[in-house]
Chains A and B, each alone.
Chain A
Amino acid sequence: MTSAPRRTARLTYGLAGVGCALVLAEALPRMGIVDPRHLPPTSRIAAALAAELGRSGFWLAVADTVAAWAQGLAIAVVAGVACGVVIATVPGLRAVTASTIEFLRPIPSVALIPLAILLLGTDIRSTLLLVVYASFWQVLVQVVAGIHDIDPVAADTARAFRLSAPQRIWHLALPTALPYVLTGVRLAASVALVLAVTAELVIGAPGLGQEISVAMTAGAVPRMYALIAVAGVLGVAVNLAARGTEHRLLRWHPSVREEATA
């Protein structure tokens, strides 16, 4: 257990670290140590960010990115859970599909970019293709591992006591599989954002990534940095939200909660 003095010390150090970084980012370009055309001073980036925040086009782009992320993640989670449940429960299916999954999984989603451009053009559907492809595997692998982890003795007991299917799911499948599924969703959420912004950047689908690409071609460097910072903030928000949901959901189911404290 960390003592109160240790916690306040950590907070102070953390703030000092952030402060130092900001000061360096402001001072180095101004002093000419770093070329200000490559890295503008933080104040100029902040000004560009303020300008962006007042522009409706910016908010539309952010909305596009978030929409693509959310839709892609939802599709990947539903498909991943469904396929994962089927693969894990149908006897023998896991062994038969193992080699195919191991082959398809490492294929980089960027390999699909040319295909996406040709088939789906430069709208949100291209983004979704990339997002869903990359996130699906994260969820699938975790779901299969989670269901596989169910204690066979407990499963037999549930069957012996003639528990109905919903009861078996609630008391047996859910507590064991839930942590795995939530890990998969957390990983998938992170990957989904990366792919969404990547698709927008490279393909030109509408969203934050495309705005960055536009800023780059226009040579608007402070604006570009400001938009990248926004992407970072989105990433942090997604990480925090995912971890928070995981925490909340794992504490809510009673038997999981008991296991956690045991």
Chain B
Amino acid sequence: MTAARLSVHDLAKTYDTGTRQVHAIDKLNFTVEAGELLCVVGPSGCGKTTLLRSIAGLLRPTSGRLEVDGQPVDGTPPGTAVVFQEYGRSLFPWMRVADNIALVLRDNGIRSAERRERVREALDQVGLADTARAYPWQLSGGMQQRVAIARALAYRPRLLLMDEPFAAVDAQTRADLEDLVYRLWRDLGVTIVFITHDIDEAVYLGQRVLVLSAEPARVREEIAIDLPAERDQLATRADPRFIELRTQIQQHIRDSGR
């Protein structure tokens, strides 16, 4: 049996804010299979972002360990891409869109011709083929987030982490971006860990949903989403099973303490 793409064992993170100690995560355990789309929800401030940053190697866990494809990892797991919530700040304003995407391909021994090809392909996949020469600040918020997604895709990541990526865009743009992520996941088979506070979004996108407890975060519940593979913003969200699942999750979150 092949090892899971990502295994998290007994992950714990405590940090010091200068005035008090915060136990953000306590003995978190879960796995993500290759090609899976896992959503993580939890009450506000429960440590979801701390979890993602720990997996991404931006924070050192206080204890516990991570394994990618069976190999233990220290720091950023190789082949990990992140899409941050603050799209406006994660793209570099002094570079054009194409250069922003090409930047992450630079140090991996990829020749410039192939770099250009990957950039073009990634922009095609997110529907922004003609923005290559634009600067990020010339684009709308939704388009900037698409560029961030394109950058992650061009990287051909083994693991894609998304930290509440659509929390800062308007509802209509969010619906379009959700469908984009779902379609890309279906077409490319990327392994995705998707953090969100929006329960509807988690049920809409995920194959499985992890519900975290309040701080210190633990896995409170793991729910398999047995909705049909074809997702549609209107039809799926009206599906009785969808409503059942989201109510279940909301109940868990409410019970886990505010």
**Does chain A touch chain B in the assembled complex, meaning CB atoms less than 8 Å apart?**
yes
Interface residues of A (CB under 8 A from B): 1-4
Interface residues of B (CB under 8 A from A): 16-19
A1 contacts across to B, CB distance below 8 A: 17-19
B17 contacts across to A, CB distance below 8 A: 1, 3
In the complex, the chain A residue whose C-beta lies closest to that of B17 is A1
In the complex, the chain A residue whose C-beta lies closest to that of B19 is A1
Give the docked Cα–Cα distance between A1 and B22 (Å).
14
A3 contacts across to B, CB distance below 8 A: 16-18
B16 contacts across to A, CB distance below 8 A: 3
Min CB distance A9 to B, Å, is 13
CB-defined A-B contacts under 8 Å, sample of 8: A1-B17, A1-B18, A1-B19, A2-B18, A3-B16, A3-B17, A3-B18, A4-B18
Min CB distance A226 to B, Å, is 42
Give the docked Cα–Cα distance between A26 and B17 (Å).
42
Give the docked Cα–Cα distance between A125 and B28 (Å).
75
Give the docked Cα–Cα distance between A52 and B156 (Å).
71
B18 contacts across to A, CB distance below 8 A: 1-4
Give the docked Cα–Cα distance between A4 and B17 (Å).
10
In the complex, the chain A residue whose C-beta lies closest to that of B16 is A3
Residue of B16, B17, B18, B19 with most chain A CB atoms under a 10 A cut-off: B18
Min CB distance B76 to A, Å, is 24
Give the docked Cα–Cα distance between A4 and B18 (Å).
7
Min CB distance A101 to B, Å, is 31
In the complex, the chain B residue whose C-beta lies closest to that of A3 is B18
Min CB distance A252 to B, Å, is 27
Give the docked Cα–Cα distance between A175 and B107 (Å).
50
Give the docked Cα–Cα distance between A205 and B160 (Å).
70
Instruction: Name 5 extra pairs, CB < 8 A, besides A3-B16, A3-B17, A3-B18.
Output: A1-B17, A1-B18, A1-B19, A2-B18, A4-B18
A2 contacts across to B, CB distance below 8 A: 18
Give the docked Cα–Cα distance between A4 and B19 (Å).
9
Min CB distance A7 to B, Å, is 9
Top 5 closest pairs, chain A to chain B, by CB: A3-B18, A1-B18, A3-B16, A1-B17, A2-B18
B19 contacts across to A, CB distance below 8 A: 1
A4 contacts across to B, CB distance below 8 A: 18
Min CB distance B7 to A, Å, is 32
Give the docked Cα–Cα distance between A3 and B16 (Å).
8
Min CB distance A104 to B, Å, is 34
Min CB distance A8 to B, Å, is 12
Give the docked Cα–Cα distance between A207 and B17 (Å).
50
Give the docked Cα–Cα distance between A94 and B43 (Å).
55
Give the docked Cα–Cα distance between A2 and B19 (Å).
10
Min CB distance A107 to B, Å, is 34
Min CB distance B14 to A, Å, is 13
Min CB distance B16 to A, Å, is 6
Min CB distance A150 to B, Å, is 27
In the complex, the chain B residue whose C-beta lies closest to that of A2 is B18
In the complex, the chain A residue whose C-beta lies closest to that of B15 is A3
Give the docked Cα–Cα distance between A1 and B20 (Å).
12
Give the docked Cα–Cα distance between A134 and B3 (Å).
71
Give the docked Cα–Cα distance between A3 and B20 (Å).
10
Min CB distance B20 to A, Å, is 11
In the complex, the chain B residue whose C-beta lies closest to that of A4 is B18
Give the docked Cα–Cα distance between A4 and B16 (Å).
10
